[in-house]
Structure 1
């Protein structure tokens, strides 16, 4: 318990440094596909409410709803729909973000070791060109990056440890963003006209601790996210320019606390903040602090 409290205190001590909090393009949250706590039930409904702080003065409210269907002890399928409301000096803009379709297969456990794999897709509801009063907005205010993405991931479980790895590959770019820093009256956000984003790769290590009565579970974890190349945009002459410094590593700390209300339902609180960040983050995924509340019901 002392180790958990120390980790929690470390998270709070660094949450004032604005930086890349996670990839809300989706790769940070697909680890829920590896969860096995409710496998005795065929269906799970999850409702989430997430509050986060971004670059400049942007604050976010990002709820989502997801449904998981377990077809067998080995195979499950999850569908998720996200929504995002961003508020800052540019104004407030709200819209549905993305839909996710994720399939998971779990191999038979052997000697307290178990592998599972997942694959799936993300589909955007917008082309990432939402506007306020006719003015183009940077990606920090967009509810989606406007790409169809492929996810590939695997998880290794051993005793109380989980290690998962995943990659997120943009396969179809529908992004029509038209934001130019030169015409915005501020240089806080980089130009992202017709933005093209590179893939992300993730490694995560999680340690689970349950209280003797099995009511509470604490999951401190650390995430390493590497952005595999510099992103690019089309300048005012229509020529594509690389955004130097957008490639690189992000390291996030995360503490998850879950409480079993009944055998079928649970509440989960998640707190995350970054330790290491990329130099430039044009994709609008800048977060200094993320607080999420999740409710799950299985039947």
Structure 2
């Protein structure tokens, strides 16, 4: 138990230190679709609100709703809809972001060991070119990257540990962002005109802690996210140019806690922050701190 407490304290110390790079283009949260708890009901709805702090004092308020249907003992489907409001020196812009459809197939558990597999898609509600007062704004203010993405993943559960691997692959790019830093009067954000983003690979390890009365669950985790190539944009001369150092590794710390109110209802709190970051993050997903509150009802 002392080792567990040490891990939690280390993650919490990282969460409350300032750094850059905690982000989620979708791959960080789709891993939560891996079912590590035996559900008592076939349906669940999650209502959540995410608060975040980004670059250049941009702040975020991002609610979402998730519906999960347990089709049978092995297969479940989850749908998720996101919304985001960003506020900063450019002003405030709010919009629906993305819709997700995720399927999870779980093999039979044997000797407290279990494999599960995940696949799904992300569909954008915008082409990432929302404006404020008719002026183009950077991706940091956009609610979606404007890409249609494929998710592939697998999870291995052994005793109280979960290890999962996932890929997020943009299969169709509808990003029509038109932001040029040359016309913005600031160098805080890079140019992202007609932005094209590369794929991501994730490895996550999670330790599950339950109290004796089964009311509380704590899940500290560490996420390694590798951006598999340099992103690019189209210059003012209509030439596609890669963005140097936009590939590479990000390491995030995360702790999730849930309190089971009764057999139908639970509430949760999630805190996350980065430990190591890529040099350049033009996608606008940089976060120094993220906190979310969830309410889950089963029926």
Q: TM-score, normalised by structure 2?
A: 0.97
What does 1:99-178 align with in structure 2 at a 5 Å threshold?
99-178=99-178
Q: Would the aligned equivalents of 1:38 and 1:298 in 2 still touch at CA under 8 Å?
A: no
Aligned residue for 1:45? 45
- SS of residue paired to 2:33: helix
- SS of residue paired to 2:140: helix
- SS of residue paired to 2:168: strand
User: Is 1:208 aligned with 2:205?
Assistant: no
2-side partners of 1:267 and 1:114: how far apart? 26
Count of aligned pairs between the two proteins: 298
Aligned residue for 2:196? 196
What does 1:1-299 align with in structure 2 at a 5 Å threshold?
2-3=2-3, 5-14=5-14, 15-22=16-23, 24-299=24-299
Structure 1 residue 38 displacement after superposition: 4.9
Q: Which moved more, 1:6-15 or 1:284-293?
A: 6-15
Q: Would the aligned equivalents of 2:36 and 2:157 in 1 still touch at CA under 8 Å?
A: no
- SS of residue paired to 2:32: helix
Task: List alignment gaps of at least 5 residues for structure 1.
Answer: none
- SS of residue paired to 1:271: strand
1-side partners of 2:62 and 2:77: how far apart? 22
2-side partners of 1:135 and 1:205: how far apart? 42
1-side partners of 2:196 and 2:296: how far apart? 35
Q: Would the aligned equivalents of 1:257 and 1:269 in 2 still touch at CA under 8 Å?
A: yes
* Distance change in 2, residues 1:296/1:215 (3 Å): same
* Distance change in 2, residues 1:50/1:183 (3 Å): same
- SS of residue paired to 1:29: helix
Structure 1 residue 10 displacement after superposition: 3.5
- SS of residue paired to 2:57: coil
Structure 1 residue 25 displacement after superposition: 1.2
2-side partners of 1:159 and 1:148: how far apart? 35
Structure 1 residue 16 displacement after superposition: 4.0
Structure 1 residue 4 displacement after superposition: 5.0
Q: Would the aligned equivalents of 2:205 and 2:223 in 1 still touch at CA under 8 Å?
A: yes
Q: Which moved more, 1:24-33 or 1:278-287?
A: 24-33
Task: List alignment gaps of at least 5 residues for structure 2.
Answer: none
Q: Would the aligned equivalents of 1:18 and 1:286 in 2 still touch at CA under 8 Å?
A: no
Q: Would the aligned equivalents of 2:51 and 2:61 in 1 still touch at CA under 8 Å?
A: yes
Structure 1 residue 265 displacement after superposition: 1.3
